Structure 1
Amino acid sequence: MPRASAAAAAETARAVLAAATRQFAERGFADVSLDDVAEVAGVTRGAVYHHFRNKKALFAAVAEARQVEVGNAVVAAAQAAGNDPAQQLVDGSHAFVDAITVGPAARILLIDGPSVIGWEEWRRLDEASSGAHLRDALAAVGVDDDLLDALTAQLSGAMNEAALWLARHPDDDTARERTHRALDRLLGAII
């Protein structure tokens, strides 16, 4: 019996996270209540509170899951590039821009994330996933140790700003292509 309860609890938590992800992505943090999330998840408000102490904690869990998702996309693209560190950096960087601007990630991570979970937590999540992969890729292409942290921060910031710009131009059919061309220029100065 306990195993069924643990499995049911895990399924409830997954349902709440999925519902919260959809709600936060579509409506934004400020316009979503825990009652909304519970209704979409098909659970009670008490079930939401059982797994997450408040709306901010739920949002933090959603943001962390999106960061992991973006980081996984970066890793997959870099691995698909083969053994060429420069191509891994390029493909991973392009995958970051695409992953963070498609689906729920842009609003959750770039628009609401910094203000809801705070800059320090936002940076910690970024550095633990895609930021760590970016630093590794820059080291692999030969960036000097004394510049590695500064260049990682600057390139990460540039890609985040590019993603925000791209997210603000959803009706511009050329915005994504121009974003990728601009990113290639930046990366060309490094590799």
Structure 2
Amino acid sequence: MAPKKRSKIQEDETAAAKPVPVSSRVTRRSPRLAANSKADLTVEEPVVKLPKKKKAKRAPKENEKAEEVENEGEDLDAASEKLGVEAKNRAVVIEHCKQCQSFKKRAMEVQNGLEKGVPGITVLLNPDKSRRGCFEIRSEDGEKFISLLDMKRPFTQMKELDMEEVISDIIEKIKG
């Protein structure tokens, strides 16, 4: 429906009150363009993270130095023996398909369980391109803990797994 015509009196009043802006064509896209031009005017400054400062250590006295160095080495050896973990870090690779979120949920659950169960372990999620329908947990050496390949929907083999039991089995194999 066309807008109503203005009378000459109304036009004279509005012209006297406001200066007439130079406008281009009005299209359906005009409001979006106006909003974008306003957004361009407000520029957010990027957040820059500064590196954390290192704390300065107190210099021990000469007689304390030799005792502390000997005690530190003993503490690390005792701690690793108590945990039953080798001194070197082990790495576990979890390869999961990106087709469905259920793969990712189970992979994250295994990752969290292994990191809590074995201190000092490195868990890698999909370091290489993942295979379709694949859920595989293996050590970096190549020893496979679980290997489910070429699964079709609804991924019943993977969904039937008790993840708590799987995590505990992997922890036993790593420690043993």
Alignment TM-score, normalising by the size of structure 1: 0.21
Report which of the two has the higher share of strand. Answer: 2
Structure ranking higher in helix proportion: 1
Larger gyration radius, structure 1 or structure 2: 2
